[in-house]
Amino acid sequence: MATEMHGDATPTIFKNALILRRNLTFPEKVLWNEIRNKKLNGYKFRRQHALSLYIADFYCNEAKLVIEIDGGYHNTKDMQELDKLRTTIFQDFGITVLRFTNEEVLDNIALVVEHIKNHLTPIEG
């Protein structure tokens, strides 16, 4: 998967990603507004991007960076275990995962953006 932008994502995963892209949560919309159109150091981000068996909230192929925005349901023990497994799988493919809560995005978007920028080297040109 590290060399392919979608890994072995199935048609069902692509269909689900399209549905999610059309129905971003408000915190996802807020972050998308800050990172779209190569606003962060010239890097292109994709929203609700299919990666193997999963759909990343945001993905930058050039930086091998996934950004996840976690709502309240991520606070359950079961969801935390699934998130941990998902992060480990991404990391096994050389992808860095940054996680932010809805509250972090809504209450301090500037800090969230700065944290993301710290993981991106400016692109020349």
**C-alpha torsion 39→42→43→47, nearest 10:** 30
Class of domain 11-117: alpha beta
Q: Note down pLDDT in tens along the chain; length 125 residues.
A: 443 566 677 777 787 677 777 889 999 999 999 999 999 989 999 999 988 888 899 999 999 999 999 886 556 777 788 888 889 988 988 999 999 999 999 999 999 999 999 999 866 65
